[in-house]
Copies of this chain bind each other. A is one copy, B any other.
Amino acid sequence: MVLLVQKYGGTSVGAIAKIQNVAKKVLAAQAAGNQLVVVVSAMGPTTDVLIAKIKELTAAADPREYDALVSIGENESAALLAQAIIAQGGQAVSLTGWQVGIRTEDQHNKCKIINVDTRRIKQELRAGKIAVITGFQGLNSRGDVTTIGRGGSDTSAVVIASALGADVCEIYTDVDGVYTTDPRLLPEARLLEAISHEEMLEMASLGAGVLHPRAVECAKVNDMTIAVKHSHKTGKGTLITMAGEKLNTVSGVAADDDVAKIGLLHVPDVPGMAAELFGALAAAKINVDVIVQSIHEEAKKNDISFTVNNEDYARALKLTEEKARGWDGCRVAGNTDVAKVSVVGIGMASAPGVAARMFSALGREKINIQMISTSEIKISCIIEKKELKRAVKSIHSEFELDK
């Protein structure tokens, strides 16, 4: 008997009729001879409504009470899905994070899962029941409810699947799977049959919102295969699986327009300047993405450019300007009119020329590259925002991703 872990997101259980649909799907998978563990998110906007309530009380929520409050959306959806399965003639039981024994770190809000006690789940499965488990939440050593951050239900599902030794972790969502690029940007985008964990990790970090990066990381560590599928359509979706099974030179093109650029010109070339600037940004919890530094040899001056997301832009600019005041002759320029286009591919490391092909694809379209950043399996270019769609199209076609 195959053990399947399925995860349904907030939009998949966003209304009673949708929960009934999910129940039908789950029962069909059981009838096909599988043991079923189902992990659910809160119904649609429930978590946001709860957060709005606590924000009416305080700007700085108590971390413990925040978790106690926002975790209840999952309790609701789990109980309703279990009830829907029972109403359709199945056997099911809803289990919360504390009932299962999903142990997390002691801290609150964005904490990590340490381990999962599988005894209660296995007991329910042996009794022929479908175990419906709340995503997003766990229990710390003090006996208090914790949550593991937004998008955490993906991670819950992968961790539970790993602890149970499940054969596959199916993530049901509101898209058909992972595409070579965002199909809303480029109609030629092709659904990928398979992609490696590493590539998916880069795609997720680069703005492909299908799956939470932590869930992919966790699947990679545990060698867990994830299947991303549409929750209310049939279709094979995309398998996120171990590298080596499929080796794409380039798997996809990621587009991200939530990018703003800050340039510091003529920074004195004295050791510790970069550390001071980025230390200050880190202390302000501003996540810096691409960083490029170039040296004016003759003048002993540096130019430093970096990107942040739009939400952090104003704060980052202000902080950078404050720092620049102390550095003689230094000038700051900000620009929110930029975007990031990236290619991702596990085969890239062993296939020279990918960068050159990407740059020439952009060059053909006369798209100016403002910054470049590379890793072993991805290349990102910062370009003008209005060029993003053309850039994606040109690169997608260069690597024949529509074929």
A-side residues, CB < 8 A to B, are 16, 19-20, 50, 53-54, 56-58, 61-62, 64-66, 68-69, 72, 75-76, 78-80, 82-84, 86-87, 92-94, 96, 98-99, 120, 143-144
Contacts and interface: CB of A to CB of B under 8 A. Distances in A.
Contact of A56 (B16, B50, B93, B120): B16
A79 B68 contact: yes
Contacts of A84: 57
A58 B83 contact: yes
19 contacts: A16-B57, A50-B76, A57-B80, A57-B83, A57-B87, A61-B83, A62-B82, A62-B83, A62-B86, A65-B83, A65-B86, A65-B92, A68-B78, A68-B82, A68-B94, A68-B96, A69-B75, A72-B75, A98-B98
This protein's copies in its complex: 2
A56 B15 CA distance: 11
A87 B75 contact: no
**Which 6 A/B pairs are nearest by Cβ-Cβ distance?**
A69-B79, A58-B87, A68-B79, A65-B83, A16-B56, A72-B72
Interface centre among A16, A58, A65, A96 (most CB of B within 10 A): A65
Given A65-B83, A86-B65, A19 B75 contact: no
A306 B64 CA distance: 54
A86 B58 contact: yes
A57 B120 contact: no
A14 to B, nearest CB: 12
A76 B52 CA distance: 13
Nearest to A77: B69
Given A16-B53, A98-B98, A69 B80 contact: yes
A99 B144 CA distance: 8
Contacts of A93: 64-65
B75 A68 contact: yes
A64 to B, nearest CB: 7
Nearest to A144: B99
Residue among A69, A84, A143 having the largest count of chain B Cβ atoms under 10 Å: A69
A120 B142 CA distance: 10
Contacts of A57: 16, 19-20, 80, 83-84, 87
Contacts of A92: 65
Nearest to A64: B93
B54 A69 contact: no
Contacts of A98: 98
Contacts of A62: 82-83, 86
B64 A80 contact: no
Nearest to A52: B16
B80 A143 contact: no
B83 A69 contact: yes
Contacts of A94: 65, 68
Nearest to A71: B75
Contacts of A96: 68
Contacts of A86: 58, 62, 65
B76 A69 contact: yes
A86 B64 CA distance: 11
A84 B57 CA distance: 6
Nearest to A82: B65
Nearest to A98: B98
A301 to B, nearest CB: 49
A53 B65 contact: no
A68 to B, nearest CB: 4
A86 B69 CA distance: 14
Contacts of A19: 57
Contacts of A80: 53-54, 57, 65, 69
Contacts of A54: 79-80, 83
